[in-house]
Structure 1
C-alpha cells in the first residue's frame, strides 16, 4: 500500500511540475506575442502619421496651384480633413506614450 501512495504522490508531483512548466511557457509565449503585436501597432501608427502628414502637405501644395473655385473649395475641405486626421493620429500616439517629432519619428 505504501508503494502505491508514494507512486501516486510522485505522479501527482510530476503532473503538477509539467503543468506548471507548460503554463509558464504559454504565458511567456503570450507575452511575446503581445509585445510583438504592440510593436507592429506602433510601427503602423508611425507609418500612418508620416502618410497623413505627407498627404496634408500634398493637399496644401495642390491648393496653392488651384485656379478653379470648385477645386479650391475641394482642397480647402481636404486640407481640413487631413489636418484633423493627422492631429487624431498624434493624439493616439500620445495616448500610447509615444512622443513623435515633426518627421513622424519617435523622440
Structure 2
C-alpha cells in the first residue's frame, strides 16, 4: 500500500507540475484572455477550499496523507495564479 501511495503522490505532483507549466505557457503567449484567467483563478480557489474541507473531514488514516498532498497542490496552484495576476497588474476579488 505504501509503494502504491508513493506512486500516486508522484503522479499527482507531476500532474500539478504539468498543469502549472501549461498555464504559464498560456499566460506568457497570451493565448487566454482575462475572463478565462479569472475563471481559472476562481476555480483554483474553489478547489483549494474543497481540498481543505476534505482534509478536515477525512477519517481514514490511509487517506490523510492524500488529503494533505491534495490540499497543498490546490494551494500551490492558487498561489501561482495570484502571483501571475500580480505580475500582470490584474486586480480583482475572488
TM-score, normalisation: structure 1: 0.56
The alignment yields a C-alpha RMSD, in angstroms, of: 1.3
Give structure 1 stretches of 5+ with no counterpart.
Answer: 1-37
Find the counterpart in structure 2 of residue 63 from structure 1. Answer: 55
Task: Give the total of aligned pairs.
Answer: 64
Q: Which one of 78, 82, 101 corresponds to residue 70 of structure 2?
A: 78
- d(CA) in 2 for partners of 1:69, 1:62: 13
Find the counterpart in structure 2 of residue 93 from structure 1. Answer: 85
Tell me the alpha carbon deviations over residues 56-79 of structure 1, each in whole angstroms, 9 at most, x when there is no partner.
Answer: 101111111101112111010011
Moved over 6 A (4+): none
The structure having more radius of gyration, on CA atoms, is: 1
- d(CA) in 1 for partners of 2:63, 2:35: 34
* 3-state SS, counterpart of residue 65 of structure 2: helix
Tell me the alpha carbon deviations over residues 13-68 of structure 1, each in whole angstroms, 9 at most, x when there is no partner.
Answer: xxxxxxxxxxxxxxxxxxxxxxxxx6x51111110110000011011111111011
- d(CA) in 2 for partners of 1:76, 1:58: 12
- d(CA) in 1 for partners of 2:92, 2:73: 20
Give structure 2 stretches of 5+ with no counterpart.
Answer: 1-29
1:96 Cα shift?
1.2
